[in-house]
Amino acid sequence: MPSLEQKKSLSLPVLDGQGRLPARTLWRSPEEHAASQAAPSAGDISIASPEFPPGAEPPPEFTSSRRSFVQLLGAGVALGAAGCFTKPGEKMAPYTKRPLDLTPGNALHYATCQTRAGIATGLLVTAWEGRPTKIEGNPDHPSSLGAAGVFEQASLQSLYDPQRAREVRHRGAGSALRSFQLELSAHGQRLRKDGGARLRFLLEPSASPLIASVRHELLSAFPKARARAYASWSREASYEGARLAFGAPLEVRYDLAQAAVIVALDADFLSNEPGSLALSRQFARRREPTAEMNRLYAAEPQLTVTGSTADHRVRVRAAEIARLALAILAQVNPAAGAAAPTLPPEQAKWASAAAKDLSRNKGRSAVIAGERQGPEVHAIALAINSALGNLGKAVLTHAPLVHEVRAGPSEVRGLVEEINRGEVDTLVITAWNPLYAAPRDLGLAEALAKVPNVIYTSLFEDETSARATWFVPAAHELEAWGDGRAHDGTLTFRQPLLAPLYGGVSEVELLSALLGETERTPYQRLRELHKSKAGADFETTFTKWISDGLLPGTAAAHEVHALKPESLRPALDAAARVPAEGLELVFAPDYKAYDGRFANNAWLQELPDPLSKLTWDNAALVSPATAKRLALESGDLVDLELRGRKLRAAALVQPGQADECITLPLGYGRTATTEGVARGVGFDAGALRSAAAPYFDRGLQLNKAAGPAHRFAITHSHFTMEGRSLALDVNLMELREHKPNEELEEQRRDHPLIYEKIPYAGNKWAMAIDLSKCTGCSACVVACQAENNIPVVGKEQVEKSREMAWLRIDRYFEGPLEDPKVITQPVACVHCEAAPCEYVCPVNATVHSDEGINEMVYNRCVGTRYCSNNCPYKVRRFNFLRYNDDYTDVEKMRFNPDVTVRARGVMEKCNYCVQRVERVRIDSRVAGQPMKDGDVVTACQQACPAEAITFGSLHDPNSRVSLLQKEERSYRLLNELNTKPRTWHMARVRNPNPELG
């Protein structure tokens, strides 16, 4: 793990484009726009001379386009158009004397951050001579604590994506960035004349002080302008729920380290939501059976990561969650005036047990409402927490972190109404792809056609860019300066790792251009904004902030608010209403594409869904009972209709799904022609969303459609263990009472070997994986892919079981498939002492190292695949095709130089991150110190937010891995085969409530 002294700040300039200037203004008044709509002109842009530096003459053939000039450059120079590095505008010099702190062949680590839902997560990025190759969590940042989720890590793939937008476009034709900036600045001057009365903004929700300062300047310069925010998965209901409970919109966050009992009301807090990495860490640390173990109750319509981890889970349709919450409130605090609703027996039993458990743990519990639920559920959850005395302990409230607490469909509706009234001349959009993400019944697409000047920025050319007047490529977060707020309010800094590969601009630069400040960089703005927070030595202090990635001591302080019964009453009345009958439709952010913004990321498309194990697709999730009633099987095409909106999708029977409830993951079915790998993958669930019910609705009509069944690429289609002892679990009370567990004891029993034991003079590397902590979030899988240069193979190859992931997460169901228990189990090469693969390899390509690592010698491998056939764990991957041959030069920049990029025809597998072992060995030799426990951290171990993976040497009896493998719940996978795995698993510990069995 890099120390803080190893983190270095990096400042690279944003590259300005040089090129065509328009012969006339490109900004239109409403009258000009109406005329152009009636009779569009053939060419809006002409090219002026400043394409070349002063004194340079263009070639004679260069007359009207950049294309003719590029054609003269020849194939060698033309490679620059494929996205190679561009030199900064400032003077550069090669390092004949290497710069301070840069040693070729040694990586540097830079602190930065990424934001989602407006909240920043602190990261450490590994860079080799300026090339970012690995993203990990910043151990000092409260939102990551050293871990990194799938979205944070996979953003590296998006950084180098050759399908990113490269060119400023005006009405579809190419332009130059500098031309756009100058025109936008001039247009801003014209808008000032009436105070920006016809100027509107549709922005991405943000908690960044830097962006807030720019937005404030904009609204000061254009006092009559109006700024709105939109996010397809908005947290607006949470703020509105706090307003109902306390009279003011508040940020609600949780400290699960203080919670002995947790109730999740349709809340997937272990995945996808802001602060989930920190919550996973807090939750997992209280799953230790040796300490006071927490207990989790979950109520939800579809099986989630959080629900699969729960000790007690109940299937509840989304519209019925409110009544369930009301039942808990009525038992916890009868004085609240909430009448207990009548619930189905299973739900009533679950609610009663949860309420009693909460009451026994007053001040030591938390009730969490999910973002999908309405304000009334959030208000009731706060009322329960208030009655239990949880506020200020496990449940914290303070002023909102984001600048825009309203960022739902109502904001888009207001904008559309203004456009339809003819009040908008210029619209600036930084919100992610609203034409795709917003409910279609709002009519945003039709409204944009009435706006003369629509400016939009995004990483990719997408559905919204096709309708924009001006489209500007956006800078990736690893290419731009900025700041943000962590989930607890801590001020966080973002620094670029490299100059924009494709000439993109940040939101700050785009908005600054409208103010006419094209020369004032985001870096300068950032320094000016935070200068007052530093002491006398600003340079040293600011450099330390950037190096650390955060400003300590800036977390938001908890605010005490009294519950307001009079404002809570409407929430109680709304929750008491009986939902309408009919088939329910529920929307969910996808675990891989989220709301669609990560859909073009091939790493994520090929990452198996944590529960369904589906890749390269989404599906209409149906419960086994509902599928039986409708005569559906997985892969059947279904026609869905809701209030006149129609969609054809493919059904997937999902154990654990609530009956009479269909879940549609968002983020697929992309139609933009330049969207790359996302185009045509899955179906667009957003086609059925409405502004009135953007998250769930009743009245869905479902009919089985004719036609061949859809082919899913699923990596783990076997649901159960079929009586085998694979992923084991134990009951907490039985474990503490040391009751015999035959299944566990059998998998721990030593069997005699017919071969002599191998002596290890140095280290004896081993791993322990705690199933009690593992949530199946898949962060380790992406970490392994990034660290080891593992390729993606595409849907067709995954269908043939040719996926290349070295680490997989098996998921098993126990009990009835309608309402099963779930257990997840990470499995990679277990590095057997008596490895079956080694005995059958004819060329000795798979061998044991002198420290017990089962290694692969790629140069020896001839592809017989005998080792794979003889491996009982099925963890070896064969490189069937030339998966690495088609990468562009830019894509190759993401490769880890410590790991060989494999050619076709060799076997691959986990090697315990042997490159990291050797790096630590070299560093320890240089320092003259022995390797210590914890020095070597594998990629999967480092990324895991739950700390479920431990690595170390068994020769150290006090090492963490030695102690874990001695625990009574540790066992060897497939121990009956006597392969002597070096990786041990630890049985999952369940903490059930005796009242629920």
Instruction: Record the tokens describing residue 540, joined without a space.
Output: 């040293």
Cβ neighbors of 566 (< 8 A, separation 6 or more) are none
The per-residue DSSP string of 688-723 comes to G--SSSSSEEEEEEEEEPPSPPP--EES----S-TT
Instruction: Record the tokens describing residue 407, joined without a space.
Output: 């960022």
Lowest average pLDDT, out of 137-151, 664-678, 852-866, goes to 664-678
Mean pLDDT within 694-717: 92
Instruction: Record the tokens describing residue 135, joined without a space.
Output: 């993203």
Cβ neighbors of 484 (< 8 A, separation 6 or more) are 113, 115, 118, 119, 120, 206, 207, 208, 491, 492, 494
With H, G, I as helix, E, B as strand and everything else as coil, classify residue 771: coil
C-alpha distance from residue 511 to each of 213, 232, 258, 457 (Å): 11, 22, 43, 11
The per-residue DSSP string of 514-552 comes to HTT-SSS-HHHHHHHHHGGGS-S-HHHHHHHHHHHTEET
Q: What is the CA radius of gyration of the chain?
A: 29
- A 10 A CB-CB count for 663 gives 27
Rounded to two decimals, what is the model's pTM? 0.89
Instruction: Record the tokens describing residue 953, joined without a space.
Output: 């040497």
**Helices (H), ranges, 536-612:** 538-548, 565-576, 602-606
CA distance 819 to 814: 9
Largest Cα–Cα distance of the chain, in whole Å? 90
What digits encode the pLDDT tens for the residues 954-970? 999 999 999 999 999 99
Of residues 364, 358, 356, 353, the one with CA closest to residue 391: 364
Helices vs strands, H then E, count in the chain: 30, 39
Q: Does residue 51 carry a pLDDT above 80?
A: no
Q: What is the pLDDT of residue 615?
A: 95
Mean pLDDT within 4-12: 39
Q: What is the pLDDT of residue 566?
A: 86
With H, G, I as helix, E, B as strand and everything else as coil, classify residue 70: helix
Helix axes 522-530, 507-514, angle to 10 degrees: 90
- A 10 A CB-CB count for 687 gives 17
Question: Given pLDDT bands bounded at 50, 70 and 90, which one contains residue 517?
Answer: confident
CA distance 729 to 989: 6
Name which residue leads in pLDDT, 864 or 335. 864
C-alpha distance from residue 299 to each of 67, 312, 367, 445, 888 (Å): 59, 9, 11, 37, 46
Cβ neighbors of 157 (< 8 A, separation 6 or more) are 601, 602, 603, 604, 894
C-alpha distance from residue 99 to each of 68, 547, 648, 846 (Å): 40, 18, 59, 41
Q: Is 966 exposed, middle or buried (0-12, 13-18, 19+ CB in 10 A)?
A: exposed
CA distance 121 to 353: 36
Name which residue leads in pLDDT, 115 or 290. 115
Q: Are the beta carbons of 767 and 984 closer than 8 angstroms? A: yes
CA distance 518 to 185: 8
The per-residue DSSP string of 941-957 comes to HHH-TT--EEEEETTST
Lowest average pLDDT, out of 46-55, 271-280, 395-404, goes to 46-55
Q: What is the pLDDT of residue 22?
A: 36
Instruction: Record the tokens describing residue 673, joined without a space.
Output: 């022609």
Q: What is the pLDDT of residue 720?
A: 87
Q: Does residue 919 carry a pLDDT above 70?
A: yes
C-alpha distance from residue 991 to each of 31, 258, 730, 891, 965 (Å): 69, 17, 9, 46, 22
- Which residue, chain included where needed, has tokens 């996978």? 973
Cα distance between the two ends of the chain? 43
Q: What is the pLDDT of residue 632?
A: 94
Instruction: Record the tokens describing residue 339, joined without a space.
Output: 């009448």
Name which residue leads in pLDDT, 16 or 761. 761
Mean pLDDT within 882-909: 90
Mean pLDDT within 748-775: 88
Q: What is the pLDDT of residue 96?
A: 55
- Cα-Cα-Cα-Cα torsion 696, 697, 701, 704, nearest 10 degrees, comes to 10
What digits encode the pLDDT tens for the residues 709-720? 999 999 988 888
Q: What is the pLDDT of residue 95?
A: 52
With H, G, I as helix, E, B as strand and everything else as coil, classify residue 480: coil
C-alpha distance from residue 609 to each of 717, 725, 781, 810 (Å): 12, 24, 11, 11
Helix axes 236-246, 375-388, angle to 10 degrees: 50
Strands 614-615 and 713-714: antiparallel
Mean pLDDT within 586-607: 94
Name which residue leads in pLDDT, 826 or 106. 826
Q: Does residue 75 carry a pLDDT above 50?
A: no
Q: Does residue 845 carry a pLDDT above 60?
A: yes
C-alpha distance from residue 212 to each of 111, 397, 756, 911 (Å): 22, 22, 68, 47
Q: Which residues pair with 263 in a beta bridge?
A: 297, 367
C-alpha distance from residue 954 to each of 170, 296, 975 (Å): 63, 34, 19
Q: What is the mean pLDDT of the chain?
A: 87
Provide the 8-state DSSP code for 7.
B
Mean pLDDT within 419-446: 94
Q: Is 883 exposed, middle or buried (0-12, 13-18, 19+ CB in 10 A)?
A: buried
Q: Which residues pair with 426 in a beta bridge?
A: 199, 453
Q: Does residue 62 carry a pLDDT above 80?
A: no
CA distance 51 to 66: 9
Cβ neighbors of 601 (< 8 A, separation 6 or more) are 154, 155, 157, 158, 161, 677
Q: With helix as H, strand as E and coil as C, how does 625-663 read?
A: HHHHHCCCCCCCEEEEEECCEEEEEEEEECCCCCCCEEE
Phi-psi domain of 912 (left: phi exceeds 0; alpha: psi -120 through 50; beta: other): left
CA distance 794 to 781: 17
CA distance 890 to 162: 7
Q: Does residue 64 carry a pLDDT above 60?
A: no
Provide the 8-state DSSP code for 624.
H
Q: How many residues are there in the chain?
A: 997
Q: What is the pLDDT of residue 43?
A: 38
Cβ neighbors of 344 (< 8 A, separation 6 or more) are none
Instruction: Record the tokens describing residue 594, joined without a space.
Output: 């989220």
Instruction: Record the tokens describing residue 654, joined without a space.
Output: 């999902």
